[in-house]
Chains A and B, each alone.
Chain A
Amino acid sequence: MSDDHQLRVSKIKSGTVIDHVVGGQALNVLAILGIDGKEGEEVSVGINVPSDRLARKDIVKVEGRELSQDEVDVLSLIAPDATINIVRDYDVVEKHRVDSPDVVEDVLSCPNPDCITAAGEPVTSRFEVLEDGVRCSYCGTIVRESIADLIDT
């Protein structure tokens, strides 16, 4: 971590730091991960902080929770350049990138009003991840832009 955001967002003792998130997407990162603070997690968020790599970036720190690769891979939909740092006793013990998953479930809502997933059925949304977008596994609708707008909150 560089000094610039340490000044703005305090270090965590143990947990996960999601860095290099596209500016403005931090709250969507939390929404995708289903982190809303109701579980009592200590969460710090930096939005549009200066970054050498991205000019402006967001950063999310979750205290006391180590997110698995499967949990964070879904972030590739909105933050493909995000880096994941697992912190223990103030040291970064693991650092990795997000990988694009084949499928994301229960994260996005299909924008097609005629899709069966929008009809009150007991069905979990499922999208195949394409090279340049996502595709509803039920109605086949392809979304390439504004995927963050589909996040099921």
Chain B
Amino acid sequence: MRHDHLITSKQLSRADVETVLDRAAEIDADPSAVADRHAGSLLGLLFFEPSTRTKMSFEAAMKRLGGDVVDMGSVESSSVKKGETLADTVRVIEGYADALVLRHPKQGAATMASEFVDVPLLNAGDGAGHHPTQTLLDLYTIRENAGLEDLTVGIMGDLKYGRTVHSLAHALTNFDARQHFVSPESLRLPREVVYDLHQAGNGAGIREHESLEEVLPSLDVLYVTRIQRERFPDENEYQKVAGEYQIDLETLEAADDDLTVMHPLPRVDEIAPEIDDTEYAAYFEQAHNGVPVRMALLDLLLSNGGETDE
């Protein structure tokens, strides 16, 4: 891997992904081997939007590598409240840390911020744009549960605004996966993402559907995302649509026994709790994988500026 910053999954080649996942597997098998590897290093956390999993797993990852974090805190308690630009904020905080993690509500925020800093910057979500570190832990989870070869993936829910979906879909083009996108008409993949998938040469492997039923039996992985209430003009419309994209044990009767069900979390009621204790459920494991995968990513970026032996 040779990147100063990680902004979108489009940057990642198959070899890049495998480098991170292999390193994550090594760390997962023996976390103590890297316990002091980055002692003295500091990771700057800039979260302009709420986050539980991403922020805490980055913090856990850095601390488990022997380093520590400096956290901007909430927007309300920071200089942002006084009108400071993002460009200024990142330039200040890069002086305090060896790498930065940024989540911001505006699309393209990470791209712009990366132009103002010299330390590695990791995009932890930019509006409806991208979320590449989530993608790496998603791919790690897929590899552990279903393998990344000859894969058929269903991605369901809010495909329009779901940044985890946009990043994952592109990364999967590295693996020639067949991708079925299941959503209501109003929440289909943005044309920009479809364009990218075609540009990546994966046009033939992409299908869009309004119903899960027709594709469920063929899936190795079902990646479910939350349909947010605020995307709909009224409550009735939301209830009607959201209800069609929820799964329970009855839904999964049509699925392959080896199906892996994933979700970036938080869920509301897209996946019935009765699935949690079945062999299908991989979403909590997926959330836990955020730590070793982010440890691997930080280790690679902090060890050699993102360069591996070539």
Are A116 and B109 in touch, CB under 8 angstroms?
yes
Are B86 and A116 in touch, CB under 8 angstroms?
yes
With A116-B112, A117-B108, A119-B106 as contacts: A140 and B192 at CB distance below 8 Å:
yes
Q: Mark A114-126, 1 if CB is under 8 A from B, else 0.
A: 1111111111000
**Which residues 118-141 of A have a CB within 8 angstroms of B?**
118-123, 135-141
Q: Contact partner of B87 among A122, A135, A137, A138, CB < 8 A?
A: A122
Are B86 and A139 in touch, CB under 8 angstroms?
no
The distance in angstroms between the C-alpha atoms of A112 and B87, with both chains bound, is: 19
Interface presence of B129 (CB below 8 A): yes
Instruction: Label chain A's interface by main secondary structure.
Output: loop
Are A138 and B192 in touch, CB under 8 angstroms?
no
The distance in angstroms between the C-alpha atoms of A60 and B115, with both chains bound, is: 37
The distance in angstroms between the C-alpha atoms of A83 and B196, with both chains bound, is: 33
**Which residues 71-128 of A have a CB within 8 angstroms of B?**
112, 114-123
Instruction: Label chain B's interface by main secondary structure.
Output: mixed
Q: Contact partner of B106 among A116, A122, A140, A142, CB < 8 A?
A: A116
B79 → chain A closest CB, angstroms: 15
**Which residues 33-52 of B have a CB within 8 angstroms of A?**
none
Closest to B8 in A: A140
With A115-B106, A122-B85 as contacts: A140 and B112 at CB distance below 8 Å:
no
Closest to A123 in B: B112
The distance in angstroms between the C-alpha atoms of A120 and B107, with both chains bound, is: 13
Interface presence of B172 (CB below 8 A): no
**Which residues 78-130 of B have a CB within 8 angstroms of A?**
85-87, 104-109, 111-112, 115, 126-129
Are A121 and B128 in touch, CB under 8 angstroms?
no
Question: How many residues on the A side are at the interface (Cβ–Cβ under 8 A)?
Answer: 19
B232 to chain A: which residues have CB within 8 Å?
A: none
Are B85 and A121 in touch, CB under 8 angstroms?
yes
B85 to chain A: which residues have CB within 8 Å?
A: 120-122
A138 to chain B: which residues have CB within 8 Å?
A: 107-108, 111-112
Most chain B beta-carbon contacts within 10 A, residue among A114, A116, A121, A136: A116
With A114-B128, A116-B86, A139-B129 as contacts: A121 and B105 at CB distance below 8 Å:
no
Q: Contact partner of B108 among A115, A122, A142, CB < 8 A?
A: A115
Are B87 and A114 in touch, CB under 8 angstroms?
no
A119 → chain B closest CB, angstroms: 5
B171 → chain A closest CB, angstroms: 15
B104 to chain A: which residues have CB within 8 Å?
A: 116
Interface presence of B195 (CB below 8 A): yes
Are B87 and A140 in touch, CB under 8 angstroms?
no
Closest to B111 in A: A138
A118 → chain B closest CB, angstroms: 8
A121 → chain B closest CB, angstroms: 5
Interface presence of B240 (CB below 8 A): no
The distance in angstroms between the C-alpha atoms of A58 and B77, with both chains bound, is: 55
Are B105 and A114 in touch, CB under 8 angstroms?
yes
A141 to chain B: which residues have CB within 8 Å?
A: 107, 192
The distance in angstroms between the C-alpha atoms of A135 and B112, with both chains bound, is: 15
**Given A114-B128, A116-B107, A121-B87, 9 additional A-B pairs, CB 8 A:** A112-B107, A114-B107, A116-B106, A116-B126, A119-B106, A121-B86, A135-B192, A139-B108, A141-B192
Q: Which 6 residue pairs are nearest across A and B when measured between Cβ atoms?
A: A138-B108, A139-B107, A139-B108, A116-B108, A116-B106, A116-B109
A selection of 25 A-B contacts at a CB cut-off of 8 Å is: A112-B107, A114-B107, A114-B127, A115-B107, A115-B108, A116-B86, A116-B107, A116-B126, A118-B106, A119-B106, A119-B109, A121-B85, A122-B87, A123-B112, A137-B111, A138-B108, A138-B111, A139-B106, A139-B127, A139-B129, A140-B107, A140-B192, A141-B107, A142-B191, A142-B192
